[in-house]
Amino acid sequence: MLEKSNTSGSDCEAGSECLKIRAHHLCCIQGFQGYGYSPVFVANLRAVISDIKASPSRPLELVSECDVICTSCPSERECIAQKSIASQRIREMDLVVMEKLKIAEGTVMEADKAFRLINSQLANASDVEEVCGSCKWRQKCLWYMQDER
């Protein structure tokens, strides 16, 4: 079952179908093939993905903070605190994506539109490297490995 984000400050209305998603997770979702930080994390990510696939017009709030995927991650506390170099680097990935998509923090858009936008705006290898260059999952990520990347 999909776990709810426990982060605050969401523009998604309480009780709405809106999902808070870190901007760079738009890429990770498309590259997922069953790997992750823990079995609980993988199960939650599967649930998030199947939820979005079942409702492609579901609104997503695009953010640079912890989201519905992070909520089952062993590193969530570290990423919420934003104190480590690693968590700051991850946030930087979100900011790069938002800059390339020309959207502001908290932008809400339908999921299928968000995926179309990111796949059109991050179309070349240098864009992808800018986002994913330091990710340890690159060789297990279908989105990173697709085409000539």
Nearer of residues 13 and 129 to ligand SF4, judged by Cβ:
129
Instruction: Please choose, from the candidates 97, 96, 7, 112, the residue with its C-alpha nearest in 3D space to the C-alpha of residue 60.
Output: 112
**C-alpha–C-alpha distance, residues 70 and 141, integer Å:** 18
Nearest distance, CB of residue 14 and ligand SF4, angstroms = 22
Nearest distance, CB of residue 18 and ligand SF4, angstroms = 18
Nearest distance, CB of residue 114 and ligand SF4, angstroms = 14
Residue 22 bridge partners (DSSP): 63
Nearer of residues 11 and 130 to ligand SF4, judged by Cβ:
130
- Looking at residue 2, the DSSP 8-state letter turns out to be P
Nearer of residues 19 and 73 to ligand SF4, judged by Cβ:
73
Which amino acid is present at 96? V
- Looking at residue 20, the DSSP 8-state letter turns out to be E
**Which residues lie near ligand SF4 (CB under 6 A)?**
22, 24, 27-28, 31, 66, 69-70, 73, 75-76, 79, 90, 131-132, 135, 137-138, 141, 143-144
DSSP line for 44-78: HHHHHHHHHHH-TT-EEEEESS--TTGGG-TTHHH
Nearest distance, CB of residue 141 and ligand SF4, angstroms = 3
Nearer of residues 20 and 22 to ligand SF4, judged by Cβ:
22
